[in-house]
Homo-oligomer: A and B are copies of this chain.
């Protein structure tokens, strides 16, 4: 294969909850050994079996906050008193070595990344149809009309962020979604804007 450029890509997978980002991400990584999942940094304590640099980079609150000030995260958030973030250095090193780095992340995180790393490929994963999502919400007979309404609102609200992304992948089947994701990555590697070296080198 001729990739025309040795640099990898930052691939940001995001979208409303329930779209199946995680499944697509795992399937993509299994089929594409040139891609890695980004490793997050956190201030929460390691759980039994979790390995430094594999599941997370573990650090303390003070160090994390220092890194935030030094602009060393592509994005971060505080969840239940613990910080979670994507260290810029990890991503940039892997990309420079030619790996594609996958980031599976919520919408707020993706927008932070877009701000700090606009060269990323921003992909919005959506469920096969909102009609189906509606049906799913309504079918849960346990929920009150109010809860259903809140869920609708939230889903619609999340979808308004679609316009912030470059691509939308409908997760109808995992195979088809991964095939589209692979096409997007290969196509992005063919973009003229990513091949200026090629142009100058001629």
Identify which of residues 151-184 in chain A touch chain B, using a CB-to-CB cut-off of 8 Å.
Answer: 156, 159, 162-163, 165-170, 172, 176, 179-180, 182-184
Which residues of A come within 8 Å of B, CB atoms? 1-2, 4, 123-124, 126, 128-130, 156, 159, 162-163, 165-170, 172, 176, 179-180, 182-184, 186-188, 190-192, 195, 198-199, 202
- Give the contacting residue for A187; candidates B128, B129, B183; CB below 8 A: B183
Q: Is the CB of B176 within 8 A of A191?
A: no
A165, A180, A188: most-surrounded residue (chain B CB, <10 A): A180
Q: Is the CB of A180 within 8 A of B170?
A: no
| Bound-complex Cα distance A190 to B166 (A) | 8
A130, A156, A168, A186: most-surrounded residue (chain B CB, <10 A): A168
